[in-house]
Structure formats: C-alpha cells, structure tokens
C-alpha cells in the first residue's frame, strides 16, 4: 500500500464500470447473433455461437466483478489514507492512525481496514462478513482462479454491482 | 449514562454478537417463506394462462449452500410455455443489502429479482453506516434510513444509478420474455 494517495479517483468510477459492462454484454450478444455480419462464415452452426456466447458472457461477468471489487477496495483504502492523514478525532480515524504506525505500508484490507469499520461503526457483523466473503471472491479472481473456491454463495455482476453502489453511497467515506 | 451507552456499544461489537444458530434458523425459515410468497405472486401473474392450459408450472428442490446457514433445500419454480422452459431459481439470502435473490432464468440469460426493504428505490437506500465514537455518539454519519418493516420483491434497472422497481405483472412478464428471447 502506498504511503500516500494522489487524491485522484483511480480508474473508472463505478457508474462507468457498469456502463462498460452492459455495453460489452450487448455488443457480445449482437456479435454472436445471426444478424451479425459474416455470422455464417464464423460459425458452422448456430449452437456453436450460443456456446461461445455463453463462455464470453461468463468471462465478461468475472472481469467486470473484478473491476468493481478493486474499485470498492480503492474506496476503502483511500478513506483509510484520509483517516491517517487527517486530524479527525473520531475513533475510526484514531484506530487507522494506530494501525498505520504499527504496520507502516503493509495495510491489509480485511484484518486492518474492515476490522476498523467493524469495531468503530454501526455496520453490522453480518454485512462485514458478507463484505469479507465478497473480497475473497475478488482475491480468487485477481490471483488467476487457479483453485476451486468455496464461497458459500453465487457472485456475479448482478449481485456485486448493487452491493458496491450501496456501500459507496452508504458508508461515510471521506476520500 | 455514558457508561451505559459504552457498555451497550462494547456488547454490540463482540465477535458474532447476536449470530446464534437460532438466528440463522430464523433467517432460513423467513427466506423459505418469502420464496413461497414470490412463487404465489408469480402464479397469480400467469394464472390466466395456467387456467387455459397454455402455461404449466411445477417445483423442483434445489440444494443451496450459504456460508453461515449451511446446506439447505429450496424450491425452484419451473414454468413451461410450449417448448420453452423458464426457471425461477433461488440464489440465496445472505447477500449484502438484500434479504434474498431469485433469478428468472431462460435460454437468453437471467434477470435477478431482489427482496429488499419496501422503501428501497435506489442502491443508496440499502445501507447506512455511521462512525461510532467512545460514548456511543455517532459522527461522520449519513441520515439513517427508516427501519425496514416490510419487504418487497424488486427488479433492478440497468440505468445508472440503479433503480429498484417493484415486481408486478408487467415487469415480470417483460423480463420473462427477455430471458426467453421472445
């Protein structure tokens, strides 16, 4: 984790990620439909197009989830950074400053930042557990999906995106 | 007074506070009851076609696994319209901000239906978090939403920001046709 953030919003904002996702899904559906130019040259039979479309949509969904979850992680880390740099007196900011002193730049999202929110905010243990679980999914995606995960629930863009929207608008992030 | 507030705050922050097996069992029982409620509602939406024999429906047990609740059986609704088979597939209940999710699944994809507080119109209505200072006072807070007393099944728009629309006959049938490529 860098000592200080630039203060600029990293990458695309959530709404742009959603637009990119929905545009890509629509474009793929069009590309793999019989009305697409050269469809019959590209696919020997329509069922092949359906199989390929399904695989492309699944991959697009996973990539979009990763983009949203990394953006969400950035929101938590930027708030952490602000809490460390500010002189705010609230318990969470004080906790963040203590953690920064102790762990320097090796700040962990789960054990340090989410733990702070769990201790010093009104967020329920249930929601923190759900967030931790979603970030396990992000970890699996970011590390090449080389093991068989056990998430205990289905994750896809339709769940991850509204969750991220809810957190970004419902948590009192300052950065 | 502050001592009482602080004691309450400390108690509320203990690991697993309130998360007893009884609580998970209650959540599961509510979730299965909510599923039945949805299926009853959907049966009403397609009732006219069911009575005429052009649509039939049945139920199949599915096995779901959720981290805290464990493994359980939940009903899937299978809707047959001629050669088309559409499913109402339960996804789970422990989803952040939502009380449950069921997908309308067809050959052209899936559309989720979420069980959320009746007051929820947009994602920002789902969660409100405040920072707690010693003494139990809240700081850095956003306005608290009204307490959730009733829940509705809703479909999320793909317009931005997302909006939550009540599931009614029109929205259900439109999304059923979407996943069926009608």
Per-residue pLDDT of chain B (182 residues; tens, 9 = 90+): 556 555 555 655 554 555 677 888 888 999 999 999 999 999 999 999 999 999 999 999 999 988 778 899 999 999 999 989 999 999 988 777 788 999 999 988 889 999 999 999 988 888 889 998 766 555 555 555 556 678 999 999 877 778 999 999 999 999 999 999 76
pLDDT exceeds 90 at position A52? yes
Among A28, A165, A168, the residue to mutate for chain B (most B Cβ within 10 A) = A165
Residue A124 CB neighbour total at 10 angstroms: 17
Asked whether the beta carbons of A130 and B101 are under 8 A apart, the reply is: no
A97–chain B nearest CA distance, Å:
15
What is the arrangement of strands in the sheet containing B109-117, beginning at the earlier edge strand?
B55-66, B70-81, B84-92, B100-106, B109-117, B151-156, B164-166
Chain B residues whose C-beta sits inside 8 Å of any chain A C-beta: 13, 15-19, 65-68, 91-92, 94-98, 101, 103, 109-110, 112, 114, 123-124, 126-134, 138-142, 156, 158, 160-162
Instruction: Out of A92, A163, A170, name the one closest to residue B124 (CB).
Output: A170
CA A37/CA A56 separation, integer angstroms: 18
Closest CA to A20 of A52, A66, A54, A51: A66
Asked whether the beta carbons of A53 and A29 are under 8 A apart, the reply is: yes
Tell if the CB–CB gap between B67 and A125 is shorter than 8 Å: no
pLDDT in tens, A5-44: 554 454 568 889 999 999 999 999 999 998 898 888 888 8
Closest CA to B28 of B81, B69, B71, B82: B69
Q: What is the pTM of this model?
A: 0.81
Residues from chain A contacting residue B141 (CB–CB below 8 Å): 172
Closest CA to B126 of B95, B103, B159: B95
- DSSP, collapsed to helix, strand or coil, labels residue A8 as coil
The first and second tokens of residue A105, run together, are 């730049």
Look at A108-112, A146-150, B48-52 and tell me which has the smallest mean pLDDT: A146-150
The first and second tokens of residue A154, run together, are 């289905």
Burial (CB count <10 Å: 0-12, 13-18, 19+), residue B117 = buried
DSSP B74: E
Instruction: Out of B101, B129, B160, name the one closest to residue A170 (CB).
Output: B129
What per-residue confidence (pLDDT) applies to A8? 47
Tell if the CB–CB gap between A153 and B91 is shorter than 8 Å: yes
What per-residue confidence (pLDDT) applies to B151? 92
Instruction: Out of B95, B131, B156, name the one closest to residue A130 (CB).
Output: B95
Instruction: Out of B97, B112, B129, name the one closest to residue A172 (CB).
Output: B129
Asked whether the beta carbons of B97 and A166 are under 8 A apart, the reply is: yes
Mean pLDDT over A95-99 rounds to: 95
Q: Which residue has the higher pLDDT, A2 or B156?
A: B156
pLDDT exceeds 50 at position A67? yes
pLDDT exceeds 70 at position A74? yes
């Amino acid at each position: 984790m860098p000592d200080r953030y630039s203060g600029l919003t990293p990458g695309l904002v959530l709404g742009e990620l959603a637009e990119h996702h929905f545009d890509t899904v629509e474009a793929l559906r069009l590309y793999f439909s019989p009305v697409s130019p050269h469809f019959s040259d590209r696919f020997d039979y329509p069922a092949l197009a359906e199989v390929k479309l399904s695989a492309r949509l699944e991959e697009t969904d996973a990539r979009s989830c990763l983009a949203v979850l990394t953006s969400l992680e950035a929101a938590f880390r930027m708030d952490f950074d602000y809490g460390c740099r500010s002189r705010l007196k609230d318990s969470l900011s004080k906790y963040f400053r203590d953690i920064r002193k102790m762990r320097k730049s090796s700040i962990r999202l789960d054990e340090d930042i989410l733990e702070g929110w769990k201790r010093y905010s009104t967020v329920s243990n249930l929601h923190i557990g759900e967030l931790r679980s979603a970030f396990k999914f992000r970890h699996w995606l970011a590390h090449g999906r080389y093991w068989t995960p056990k998430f205990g629930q289905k994750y896809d863009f339709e769940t991850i995106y509204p969750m991220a929207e809810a957190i970004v608008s419902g948590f009192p992030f300052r950065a | 007074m502050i001592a009482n507030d602080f004691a309450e705050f400390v108690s509320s922050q203990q690991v697993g506070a309130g998360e007893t097996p009884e609580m998970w069992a209650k959540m599961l029982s509510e979730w299965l009851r909510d599923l039945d409620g949805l299926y009853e509602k959907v049966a009403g939406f397609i009732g006219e076609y069911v009575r005429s024999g052009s649509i039939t429906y049945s139920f199949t047990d599915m096995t779901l696994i959720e981290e805290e609740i464990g493994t359980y059986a939940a009903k899937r609704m299978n809707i047959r319209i001629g050669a088309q088979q559409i499913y109402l597939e339960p996804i789970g209940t422990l989803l952040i901000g939502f009380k449950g999710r069921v997908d309308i699944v067809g050959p052209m994809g899936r559309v989720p239906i979420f069980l959320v507080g009746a007051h929820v119109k947009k994602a920002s209505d789902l969660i409100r978090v405040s920072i707690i200072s010693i003494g139990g006072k809240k700081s850095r807070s956003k306005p608290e939403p009204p307490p959730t007393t009733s829940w509705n099944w809703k479909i999320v728009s793909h317009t931005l920001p997302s909006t939550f629309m009540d599931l009614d006959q029109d929205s259900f049938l439109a999304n059923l046709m979407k996943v069926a490529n009608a």
